[in-house]
Structure 1
Amino acid sequence: MTQSVVVQVGQCGNQVGCRFWDLALREHAAVNKKGIYDEALSGFFRNVDTRSGGDGHDVSKGKICSLKARALLIDMEEGVVNEILQGPLRDVFDSKQLITDVSGSGNNWAVGHRLYGCQYRENIVEKLRKTAEHCDCLQCFFIIHSMGGGTGSGLGTFVLNLLEDEFPEVYRFVTSVYPSGEDDVITSPYNSVLAMKELNEHADCVLPIENEALFDIVNKINQMVKSGKLGSIVKQNSLVTSSAGSTKTLQEKPFDAMNNIIANLLLNLTSSARFEGSLNMDLNEISMNLVPFPRLHYLVSSLTPLYTLADVNIPSRRLDQMFSDAFSRDHQLIRADPKHSLYLACALLVRGNVQVSDLRRNIERLKPSLHFISWNQEGWKTGLCSVPPVGHSHSLLALANNTCVKPTFMELKTRFMKLYKKKAHLHHYLHIDGMEQSCFSEAILSLSDLIEEYNELDASKGGPRRDPSRLKIAV
């Protein structure tokens, strides 16, 4: 059985990670009612003997002694991590796998990447190695972070670099939360573009998620619930944005609903690694099948359904609607429209009582309305996990390598240039050792090159294309 490790960096990364572990435990509890430590649990949890006289080492099989998440929690402010350690999930995290400071990164990528990166490098490497030692077959690192703040963007991408250096053969999957245009962190465009350069160079796959898209989804669900459009009865715990029944504090915070959406995305993404299925998808297969060019590894995600109606016996028409929804703008976790852009490849990860024939039928039904690149017309990858999310009969996560991510990056570049042309706030970055103005010019060049690669694909209308990276080598 393969294992994966989750690295949570910064406030956003730790809040989303906490939601993921909470919901993952609920899923395993719903399936594993006898509390037996099995292969499904071993993918993301260790079984540690903490009983009196126990040495704290892993227990291979049998009754659960104490589940410990395969996780590393990093934040340069103590608040969020301390809150987790005082909450219902406090026993799930190994106290030796935490790294915190008190002053924070001041919304400055350079502080997180250069200052704290150098200061905590050895400590981070030691804890990463310790985590890896507890794995029989380490398959994947998941990094969860935000792009707008200093710790998430700076230290998050520093950890990404370390992972490539220390574990070059282990897959690096990054979930990056992008700030909105009205973000209250004025330096977020700098932080995001500086982080983008690192993601371009060191990640295997990136799931970009926009705060604005999450906000739109939360509002849409709330409006539908209030209007009664979801039907007369909505199942308890069926809203993706709801954390009812989970181990949460009584007073929900503003970003909890948005964080739950990301956590549900990660639940669906990792379901094949945690549960059995007739067509389970190896996590490494996502990169192998969806990333034809190394830098074009940004995948657009969409999640459906966002709710489940009271009637359990869902007719095939509603099942087909779930597939249609996965390709609609309302279910995308970035503000994009893949249907009107060019697909390089697409993966469908389905959970629940769905047959392979249902997958094939819906792919054939949807194909005529989707524009795939000429040399990959059959670029579909499918996964089928038999265990549905709690409160649902089935669900679908679609991952698309699609040129529709380009407008997100173009908008980010525009916001960066508005600040950079005025040299606004640069001094906050340049006083950090090792940080020079050339870091900004290199970062914006990296982003511009990425945008140009998407432009080339769009201009070719999906026709034959030379690999830009090969062109650069040839020159």
Structure 2
Amino acid sequence: MTCWRHLPIHQGSSDSWHRRAMSAVWLQVGQCGNQIGQEWWQIIANQGEADASPFGSLDGRLSAICVDSEPKVVRRLQKQIRRKAFRESNLIVGKAGRGNNWAYGYHGSKGERDLFSQTMESLRKEVERKDCYCGTVLLHSLSGGTGAGLSSRLCEAIREEYPLGRILSVSVAPHQSGEGSLQPYNALLCLSWLQRFADGVLLFQNDEVLKRATSLQPKEGDNAYGQVSFSAMNAYIASCLAGLFYPLKVFTTRSGISLGQEPWELLRSVCPMPTLKFLHTAQSSTCGSVHWDRLASSVVQPLPRESPDGNPHCSTALLAMARGPQEHSFLLNPDSVLRRLKQAYRCVPWNPFPTTYWTDPSSGLVAPVGRHHHTLTVCANHSSAADFIQRVAHGAHAMYESRAFLHWYRRHGCEDGHFGEAFETLRSVVEDYHHLGD
């Protein structure tokens, strides 16, 4: 068990820290990435300018780049967040979609301005605006042509251009029932690229997000739950990001300026093996008085406990983030909550320190007037990711064996070798996760 609450922090002068722009560049790609980004930046905007400091540049603009092959979602995001929060040159849009095709998104269209080159140029400028660039947080889906294809190419290029920076992907997987005929190919290729070039992947599966968002809906009469919108699902994902990345007191200076290290300390805590990087995230919250044991039980209740063939899941490591004004009640007995989480996530015996916890008096969420909001967010390197990866690989392989739709990918430069390498990459990931408990 590791606690970062009392770690010493280098203290500079107040003025020096006020002049610095810290840590991460936020890169939102495709419709899904920008919709989640809209919910995320709304949370940050609601907290005031002081708490937004690690997410911006010295001129007050957000360190965010919003990219899509169509302008609709990016323009809506620009209107929803406070005026002039985004740098106009960082709003990069095309005129037509990418046909739900990974290869089209990866290689782009010769008939219009190159989204990839524009994005890399904006990223370069954002990096140069920072005194301390530590990495890029990439928000995107696994299914769309832009979200999967262009994100893959950007991830590869960022790794090459900035090898010392970290890359954390926030990836949204489509519903298992399917959202498009090319979905298995897109997810296969994107997952392969993320495994090769990213340092960590916060994997949100739409089916699980839907269940979590549904459980938060108010009960009305005989109808237990109302209709859950995509906006509510995106809001749940954004609240998980706020639970993990909203500024922590332990990572701030005495002057109150955040160092913006939360994403990278997360990776250090939950990715002890660099080849195992797919992370399961869940959150539970309450208003008023808090019982942290109950929040822990709520977090783990829907957790997948075993694979389809009956093998129990396990975790290499987990991080518990407890936020709210009653954080002291968590600190009085953290072992009780951590013991419950460790058992539910089945932490591997070979890791001597599998659990880490952080606490903070601010929830990072807006609570109803007169009430305190408490959240428990858990991020674990959990082997249930292998079930999803294996399902994607099986679906894509069945299509590949029948040669279905391959001509659509070859048209844009994706050959058999790309598929062969992707199948082998994901096979290796699944095998590594299956042997975690050995």
Instruction: Provide TM-score, normalisation by structure 1.
Output: 0.77
Deviation at 1:265, TM superposition (A): 1.1
Indicate the residue corresponding to 1:429 in structure 2: 409
Q: What amino acid is the match of 1:376?
A: N
Q: Which has the higher contact order (CA 8 A, sep 6+)?
A: 2
Indicate the residue corresponding to 1:9 in structure 2: 29
Deviations 1:137-172 (A, max 9, x none): 122311000001100000011111121112211121
For the pair 1:146 / 2:125, whether they are aligned, the reply is no
Q: Please tell me whether the aligned partners of residues 75 and 151 of structure 1 are also in contact (alpha carbons under 8 angstroms).
A: yes
Deviations 1:275-322 (A, max 9, x none): 8789x97432222232122221011111112xx35xx234xxx32101
Q: Please tell me whether the aligned partners of residues 28 and 66 of structure 2 are also in contact (alpha carbons under 8 angstroms).
A: yes
**Alignment equivalent of 2:245, drawn from 235, 248, 270:** 270
1:366–1:346 distance in 2 versus 1, CA, 3 Å: closer
For the pair 1:404 / 2:384, whether they are aligned, the reply is yes
Deviation at 1:41, TM superposition (A): 2.4
For the pair 1:182 / 2:177, whether they are aligned, the reply is yes
Q: Please tell me whether the aligned partners of residues 27 and 139 of structure 2 are also in contact (alpha carbons under 8 angstroms).
A: yes
Indicate the residue corresponding to 1:93 in structure 2: 86
Deviation at 1:367, TM superposition (A): 3.9
Indicate the residue corresponding to 2:54 in structure 1: 43
Q: Please tell me whether the aligned partners of residues 304 and 395 of structure 1 are also in contact (alpha carbons under 8 angstroms).
A: yes
SS in structure 2 at match of 1:183: coil
Identity %: 26
Q: Counterparts of 1:51-200 in structure 2 under 5 Å?
A: 58=59, 67-115=60-108, 119-200=114-195
1:393–1:254 distance in 2 versus 1, CA, 3 Å: closer
Deviations 1:245-300 (A, max 9, x none): xxxxxxx993111110111111111123588789x974322222321222210111
State the aligned residue count.
399
For the pair 1:347 / 2:319, whether they are aligned, the reply is yes
1:375–1:321 distance in 2 versus 1, CA, 3 Å: same
Deviation at 1:364, TM superposition (A): 3.5
Distance 1:285 1:414 in 2: 34
**87-96 or 287-296: which moved more?**
87-96
Q: Please tell me whether the aligned partners of residues 328 and 337 of structure 1 are also in contact (alpha carbons under 8 angstroms).
A: no
SS in structure 1 at match of 2:103: helix
Q: What amino acid is the match of 2:321?
A: L
Distance 1:253 1:416 in 2: 29
SS in structure 1 at match of 2:278: coil
Indicate the residue corresponding to 1:247 in structure 2: none
SS in structure 2 at match of 1:376: coil
Distance 2:68 2:383 in 1: 33
Q: What amino acid is the match of 1:449?
A: S
Distance 2:424 2:79 in 1: 44
Indicate the residue corresponding to 1:34 in structure 2: none
1:109–1:91 distance in 2 versus 1, CA, 3 Å: same
Deviation at 1:340, TM superposition (A): 4.4
Deviations 1:29-63 (A, max 9, x none): 3xxxxxxx54x32200235xxxxxxxxxx2xxxxx
Q: Please tell me whether the aligned partners of residues 273 and 283 of structure 1 are also in contact (alpha carbons under 8 angstroms).
A: no
SS in structure 1 at match of 2:131: coil
1:164–1:371 distance in 2 versus 1, CA, 3 Å: same
**Alignment equivalent of 2:432, drawn from 429, 441, 453:** 453
Q: What amino acid is the match of 1:42?
A: S
Name the Cα RMSD after superposition. Answer: 2.9
Q: What amino acid is the match of 1:288?
A: R
**Alignment equivalent of 1:286, drawn from 251, 256, 266:** 266
In structure 2, stretches of 5+ residues that fail to align are 1-16, 254-258
Deviations 1:10-42 (A, max 9, x none): 00000110110011111x23xxxxxxx54x322
In structure 1, stretches of 5+ residues that fail to align are 30-36, 48-57, 59-66, 231-240, 242-251, 464-475
